[in-house]
Structure 1
């Protein structure tokens, strides 16, 4: 007779069996936290049979070896049809952290929504994620199937703040935000694992943990170690196939490579480090767990929002962020880089988050039978508690019992306080797009005169705070207008605002974080009421300001967008003296002016009375600030001055007064400059080596062969081809050769789809293999009159890029970036685009079948485009045949 299988209190599902330190330790944290609450746990292995993304995992991989070392009880992999048998082995099932509910990930299937769990057992989610903020990925069949599953859960918690709203508005369930599972355990738990390491490292060193290493990140590590005065650099390879890449990329005596892949070794290397630099979210988390000074390169391939949310929550903001483009000079100017870091605030928030999340988990695992996360049916507005009386039209301020606040992301921290709700903007969170809202206590009919009454305490340095209405179904909002702060901050106040209720389902009150600046900015709201009033009772000027239910006019919208664009330009212009890009632009501006003087047919000896002293100032300042002496723009400036001095030496013109303006370091750079870096050359000469790409293609073939391609094949796109296309695009002219064009290249299909969903111009087509975003850096423009130059230079660059893609054999489709400020800010956040860069165009790119159909897109006649103004008679023809005939004559 076969003995019955052992039973457990809790079965845990999730991606604990992979080859990623973050995933392995995430589920270690969840497993140990549940066991320390007094429950016996069973780790449930991934079910097979759904699709090709579910594979049979080897038994000797990193995570399984770890599972045996730490003593997990776990199941074997079985077909999903056998999962219901687990109901006899556990009373509660927990689906754990990670993007287990993101429909664009192939491994996400019904078991991760606990569809196999019987009604007699409890279903719980801990810190589970839907992925990014977008909701377009949730197709109707996915929502229908999994809403039914999620509404059977006893309790649901999520990892990201915005997921609270996704759960409520898309799936009809209540969710609570909790900390990542790695924070459920104290540091001592991970120190105990580190003590079990099979390697030994000690002494002072910089620990480097890159999930996606590249030469740029390697150079950042070198420059950072130099900045910190650390002679040793220990590189921890990515255990998911990253050791070979690491050994090739870091094959340099300045680097040591951790000898053996194991979570214990990873923790040991972190614990012993003097400083940590990483592009990993959980690599960042463990730096904070061990209290290490650290820097993070936000990983654009794996989700920037996670880094920002985590570091905002801890109070670090962007102070710990490095960029792949950082140099020794930018790191030298970074005040946040030292071997000490104040963890007072971060440790307090970790402790509070751990206590709160463990309390939630304990309650979820012991909830009464029959408890559910499903939202209660919506009460009709006229019957809702606290609704305005239709007879009197008045309501004393105060929240209905069920009213609470939700937010678009973790930029808002929400808590109960002083009989109301405290809303605090996290450091760095006061930007457009970060919103917080609650349901209105009543829903008047569109066109009804209303008065919104707020009892609150404001905390902001802004002169006014805009009030909004929000439509929860679409996320659209309607601006009511401003409430003037008038210095009344940190005091109880009552404000009212009269308006006409607009059409469109605006059933929520909303605030934007952009209006809350300064330390601990936000508001404590103790009362919110919506009163029905008569038209005669409406106060002015508020009534006039909001009594336009049709919304702003075309002219008003155009003005707002123009002002937003102007603000961006002014901000970049105001910072022109600070950024490296601006310093490079000034070097090139003056150097190019001298190049133009050197190229004149009527050369004037001794020219440059403005440009040469200005270039001397810029070169001296660059080198005096300790910036990169090998920078390409500095090299061009040095080469130009070498050509200038040589030319005057040859014609025996004394320019020693100009030479005396350059300091010794600048003169040394000029003497050592390569002639090919700057100066002049014959118009027919090659400026630089011409890439060997499709040399037989005629210019006419490229120009007339280019099409807007929207259907791409599955053939992989070589990064070298993209790079060659960009190199061709860089031949486009730019003002004073300042080269403001930038290309952001994306290959992650999840991010690409999220971006084109926001862009909105690629519907009905499959996700392209590559998405490029062409931008222009405003820091390259030095004068107010250059307000539109970014779009001119960026447009020239983009056309060159489209032709470059065609030349290397790739198809491309430009996708416009004509959008409102809110969509643009969403894209900046998703794609991590600096505020100083203006959008020119997206370009979908990939291989294509030449036989596919494309729109004809007929061009109009030349006569409709070319306007003649006082032109003389046509000159002789300039075709090759005509020139040959002329030569014969």
Structure 2
């Protein structure tokens, strides 16, 4: 809960308390992204008092349980009249993602436009959505009120590209396009969350996640399971009252198993271990891509098909991963895109680049020193309700029917609708969804490009309300016994009532042989005068910016600062595995140092031991395993500590009580010598075997050369592993060992990397290329700002000596590069953003007579400065 005495950097409003995985993980991504930027976050619970959609939420629901597990600080539910008191708690207010600005949703009220925020506080929107395409839903009163609210925002971002136009043309504000908040965290972060799951699926399986399960969707999923060769199906239930529906639909399928319990961690684990995913969920689709799982998506028209189109287009898939609720075994079998073979290269690039840009946008928006405004035209709206540009929307042609008399088949030229023979055709309808329900009072034009075949003289076209089943005729197409020729019919009409959201045809109008229609396209346009659109802003890429030294240095320094702040914050967070390991080593090393004192001080460790106990307990509580090297080393340290104090008859039971029973068991079984203190003459561990174990240190040190030409003798990867193990003997701050090594063997990948690095021109590519990095997450304190490069440099030098000892040639290739080059490298190979580059190393076997640069060294007197 909220600390009333604490001042927060950021307060977040949005539907984080909702009982569905999309909302929960959307706001989890936003919360963690803001925290990783070094800012404290207060989550604002839903205010009440507006209307019947705003309710008092139960405390014992999975979203609130998750909020407590992940350490959210959140408010109680206030009456909306009390929201102004939040100005005393936070400096910046962020309205988060989701369809928070869609007037068709009953829970959308003034608080989500931050109407209560004081003028001296900042207002920011991250990835907020207006819902599907279309502007008819915005009534004049809604526009008038919320144009004023939105123009008070410091910065606005949206997650759909068409929403940029909506913000500009309807509300007179500038909006930037950012990625959905779930993409602000990398795959490893979600894997850490999935590691906390209470389930552990085994074997290959198809994961099915339907928000709105139906027997037809089940049939589509079954056909996909058969095609991709999966005999097991794991059904992930919609946590918002969806388990009962799932039980009913999947009850007769022996291959299907419902997920044991509902929790975000279990949802992620179900995805992480899946072999293939089928979903009708927007965020279910997003997580298929995050975990890089082959997938098929049924666009959910009920919840907004445009969102799926926008997402999958951005990720580079287009409609290739789309399947339909009405698909048959035959159509799935013929669908070449229903396959386990799928490339995520474009999607990975979009997410990586989008995450980088979006975090930079968010950092700037949250920075109090950066002054800006989302308002256009000096704060005046550039569009009025009567002046909204007309927009045409093409329907998805995902038809459904209420009778088996209709046969629906999709092809390359649209959808074929066939009507079978039946004496009674009344009440047997087929329909497809509009982008969104139509607003009463608006005027529309519906255009159908089709080839109808019927003996009747005319065909009525209807609008249908899916909730009530009621329908209205909007026009009549005179067909005069059409023989199936392609034609276009247009119907202009006024919307008479609310809830009409489907275009419907009746079987009664289709008679005779081959009765039906080949539908090529249906589009709908609002009948309004067009307003001139504002010109799109011209944005220069980093490569187009001409900078002087000082500007470039400042930009790079800010980039490095932001990276370190994100990683330092993540490393210190309670749910960071890397952070827990680093903190364990930090405290264990402090205890080790105490054990080395010649004048041993019994009972020491009043700071280090509670810290170590906290981290070991947290590690074991999360079920992360006791065989981890750092856990075992920490256990051995405490075993040595307790033994040493027992020798001096010192009572340290108060320290022992700090460890959980499980931790004490690990300590009791800890291996002697894995941690603690030992004579300086001893080896830390057994030295690796090398080709010439008696080779003198001076031979290795003075024999190291920068070799750029290699012979064809295959490289023994075991020799590289041995060189890395030698380098592990390098010192590092508190023995946290933050260095990392990435090895590349593929010639094409090596060539691409060296082309970007630029320091190997004129030479053939080496058989192996290493990239040494330092993991920023291993460093816990701001004064350690230089330590990643210090530790990384020490490790790198030891690695070069290790390679020399293993009789491999090597050449150090610097990574003194700007942000653009660095990002190109990250686009080629998967290097986590929290790892900073130290250097590349070319590696291979070499002819000892090959020529190398002399590279004369200066005298030691020019380097060594003695201070009396």
User: How far apart are residue 133 of structure 1 and its match?
Assistant: 2.4
Q: TM-score, normalised by structure 2?
A: 0.50
User: How far apart are residue 473 of structure 1 and its match?
Assistant: 3.8
Alignment partner of 1:743 is 2:743: no
Alignment partner of 1:61 is 2:61: yes
User: How far apart are residue 254 of structure 1 and its match?
Assistant: 2.1
1:391 is aligned to none
**1:814 touches 1:841 (CA, 8 Å); kept in 2?**
no
User: How far apart are residue 376 of structure 1 and its match?
Assistant: 3.2
What secondary structure does 1:728 align onto? Answer: coil
List runs of 5+ in structure 2 lacking aligned partners.
395-408, 478-487, 494-500, 506-516, 525-868
* Aligned ranges 1:272-671 → 2 under 5 Å: 272-368=273-369, 371-377=372-378, 473-475=387-389
Could you tell me which of 432, 453, 456 is aligned with 1:789?
A: 453
1:768 is aligned to none
User: How far apart are residue 377 of structure 1 and its match?
Assistant: 3.6
**2:432 touches 2:503 (CA, 8 Å); kept in 1?**
no
User: How far apart are residue 576 of structure 1 and its match?
Assistant: 11
User: How far apart are residue 728 of structure 1 and its match?
Assistant: 2.6
Report the number of matched residues: 480
User: How far apart are residue 130 of structure 1 and its match?
Assistant: 1.4
User: How far apart are residue 789 of structure 1 and its match?
Assistant: 3.1
**1:291 touches 1:343 (CA, 8 Å); kept in 2?**
yes
User: How far apart are residue 367 of structure 1 and its match?
Assistant: 4.7
What secondary structure does 1:247 align onto? Answer: helix
2:426 is aligned to 728
List per-residue Cα deviations over 1:383-442 (Å, max 9, x = no partner): xxxxxxxxxxxxxxxxxxxxxxx9xxxxxxxxxxxxxxxxxxxxxxxxxxxxxxxx9xxx
**1:9 touches 1:40 (CA, 8 Å); kept in 2?**
yes
1:152 is aligned to 152
1:20 is aligned to 20
Q: Structure 1 residues 581 and 16, CA, compared in 2 at 3 Å: closer, same or farther?
A: closer
2:49 is aligned to 49
User: How far apart are residue 378 of structure 1 and its match?
Assistant: 9.7
Question: C-alpha distance in 1, partners of 2:162/2:169?
Answer: 11
Question: C-alpha distance in 1, partners of 2:101/2:147?
Answer: 11
Q: TM-score, normalised by structure 1?
A: 0.49
Runs of 4+ in 1 over 6 A off after TM superposition: 575-582, 817-824, 830-835, 838-842
What secondary structure does 1:325 align onto? Answer: coil
User: How far apart are residue 758 of structure 1 and its match?
Assistant: 5.9
List per-residue Cα deviations over 1:138-166 (Å, max 9, x = no partner): 22222222111111111111121121122
Q: Structure 1 residues 156 and 293, CA, compared in 2 at 3 Å: closer, same or farther?
A: same
Alignment partner of 1:11 is 2:4: no
Question: C-alpha distance in 1, partners of 2:154/2:347?
Answer: 31
Q: Structure 1 residues 277 and 755, CA, compared in 2 at 3 Å: closer, same or farther?
A: farther
Once structures 1 and 2 are overlaid, which stretch shifts more, 303-312 or 138-147? Answer: 138-147
* Aligned ranges 1:55-94 → 2 under 5 Å: 55-94=55-94
1:570 is aligned to none
Question: C-alpha distance in 2, partners of 1:14/1:71?
Answer: 17
Alignment partner of 1:254 is 2:258: no
2:125 is aligned to 125
What secondary structure does 1:111 align onto? Answer: helix
Could you tell me which of 437, 456, 478 is aligned with 1:752?
A: 437
Q: Structure 1 residues 143 and 64, CA, compared in 2 at 3 Å: closer, same or farther?
A: same
User: How far apart are residue 757 of structure 1 and its match?
Assistant: 4.3
Q: Structure 1 residues 579 and 171, CA, compared in 2 at 3 Å: closer, same or farther?
A: closer
List per-residue Cα deviations over 1:318-347 (Å, max 9, x = no partner): 100001111111111111122221111111
Could you tell me which of 473, 479, 499 is aligned with 1:814?
A: 473
**1:20 touches 1:238 (CA, 8 Å); kept in 2?**
yes
**1:184 touches 1:354 (CA, 8 Å); kept in 2?**
yes
What secondary structure does 1:751 align onto? Answer: coil
Compute the RMSD of aligned alpha carbons.
4.2
Q: Structure 1 residues 375 and 209, CA, compared in 2 at 3 Å: closer, same or farther?
A: same
Q: Structure 1 residues 577 and 104, CA, compared in 2 at 3 Å: closer, same or farther?
A: closer
User: How far apart are residue 62 of structure 1 and its match?
Assistant: 1.2
Question: C-alpha distance in 2, partners of 1:344/1:99?
Answer: 29
2:774 is aligned to none
Q: Structure 1 residues 373 and 578, CA, compared in 2 at 3 Å: closer, same or farther?
A: closer
List per-residue Cα deviations over 1:567-609 (Å, max 9, x = no partner): xxxxxxxx99978977x97xx9xxxxxxxxxxxxxxxxxxxxx
2:864 is aligned to none
User: How far apart are residue 41 of structure 1 and its match?
Assistant: 0.3
Question: C-alpha distance in 1, partners of 2:491/2:459?
Answer: 27
1:95 is aligned to 95
Question: C-alpha distance in 2, partners of 1:215/1:59?
Answer: 33
List per-residue Cα deviations over 1:205-254 (Å, max 9, x = no partner): 10000011111011111111111111011111111001011001100212
User: How far apart are residue 840 of structure 1 and its match?
Assistant: 10
User: How far apart are residue 136 of structure 1 and its match?
Assistant: 2.4
Question: C-alpha distance in 2, partners of 1:744/1:146?
Answer: 35
User: How far apart are residue 170 of structure 1 and its match?
Assistant: 1.6
Question: C-alpha distance in 2, partners of 1:7/1:27?
Answer: 21
1:425 is aligned to none
Question: C-alpha distance in 2, partners of 1:254/1:148?
Answer: 55
Question: C-alpha distance in 2, partners of 1:576/1:92?
Answer: 50
